[in-house]
Amino acid sequence: MSNVFYMPPVTLMGPNAIQSLGAELASKELKKALIVTDGVLVEVGLVSKLTDELTAHNLDYVIYDGVQPNPTEKNIEDGLTLLAQSNADFVISFGGGSSHDTAKGIALVAANGGHIRDYSKGVHLSKKPQLPLVTVNTTAGTASEMTVFAIITNQEDETKYPVVDKHFTPIIAVNDSELMVAMPKFLTATTGMDALTHAVEAYVSTAATPITDAAAIKAIELIVNNLEAVVANGQDREARDAMQYGEYLAGMAFSNASLGYVHSMAHQLGGVYDLSHGLCNAILLAEVSRFNAQQVPERFVDIAKAMGIDTAAMTQEQAVNAALEAIDALSEKVGTKQRLADLGVTEDKLAFMAQNALNDACSLTNPRKASLEEIINIFKARM
């Protein structure tokens, strides 16, 4: 069976990488950017790092700053309206996953027409490449700056769904760790646990390959060795840099191997309760992993080793349990080991969310198939 591997043709990485973006763009005969971001990043002045670079290279821009934490279909529609009004010929996302996912939706629909929901009924459904997209990343978590995934919320029916399309891949991705040093502690923690979830789910995915395995294992190692340090001290440049590489590697892995039940369940929590995606992943990761380990225990032994656990004198079962305990321990140390009930989740919504989770595209590559009742029970275990 053949496999396809998707990633951006160009990625600028490391401290002050954004200072190389203008020259890259100037060589591509692009004229005006629609910058897709959120109001906070504009208010604190971080977006000026991008706009100054554009201005220095005679590139015009207009800013759409209406992106919400769980981006909605309306965010995409509003962005499309401004795109048409401004005559922008390319899109730049600036921020974390919400900005990138919104920008992907705008760029894809602008080129292909219809509604973003039209592209969620399968994978790789668009016929034409999206409008040129550049992604400037400010968090070490979602890896949406380089993946073929976008997660969109339909507020009308309280659902959150993935769109998977090869044309989502940007022409340039920018991971500048200097843009991440001011990230608040809790956002650093939740995005970091999101990245760890990407790596773990990609490693146990039924679509994993040797390439995605290598990326996932190295991502786990980097994240586990640096997340606690960067949460404790956001100015730790070495840890910030390591985390950006870890989240990018995790993105390489899951963009090509896909994910599993942690994400399909987290999407529902985001859709119904508007909860932080990274926090939901952190809460669910060990419990879903406990379920999956019954099918692929050897994979969790590898994960234990990547987390720095000495498994030499352990049985397979002991090594698996050590990995699960280490995941929960890390989550507790960085402040993301919380209970769903404390976040407002109620049992009357569990069946609804469980059914939608099973229908979520991320469930297709989970290594062990679950019944509706089993998904409900995983939710309950974290209540």
| Structure token digits, residue 107 | 């760029």
Residue with tokens 């586990």: 224
Residue-level pLDDT at 148: 94
CA dist 334 → 49, 83, 231, 338 (Å): 29, 39, 7, 11
| Structure token digits, residue 196 | 């760890």
Please provide the DSSP assignment of 270-284 as one string: HHHH---HHHHHHHH
Low-confidence ranges of the chain (pLDDT < 50): none
Q: Running DSSP on this structure, what letter comes out for residue 38?
A: B
CB-side neighbour CA atoms (13 Å) of 144? 29
Helices (H), the chain: 21-26, 39-43, 48-56, 73-86, 97-112, 185-204, 210-232, 237-257, 261-273, 277-292, 297-306, 316-333, 350-359, 372-381
CA dist 63 → 48, 70, 103, 139 (Å): 11, 19, 12, 20
Residue-level pLDDT at 160: 83
Residue-level pLDDT at 2: 79
The Cα 354–Cα 265 span in angstroms is: 7
Residue-level pLDDT at 158: 77
Residues 142-160: tens digit of each pLDDT? 999 999 999 998 888 878 8
Residue-level pLDDT at 3: 85
Residue-level pLDDT at 267: 94
Residue-level pLDDT at 45: 93
| Structure token digits, residue 91 | 């899109």
Residue-level pLDDT at 161: 86
Residues 169-225: tens digit of each pLDDT? 999 999 999 999 989 999 999 999 999 999 999 999 999 999 999 999 999 999 999
Measured from the Cβ of residue 58, the count of other Cβ atoms closer than 10 Å reads: 9
- Cβ neighbors of 193 (< 8 A, separation 6 or more) are 141, 227, 278, 279, 281, 282, 285, 330, 331, 334, 336
Residue-level pLDDT at 157: 81
Residue-level pLDDT at 156: 84
Residue-level pLDDT at 132: 97
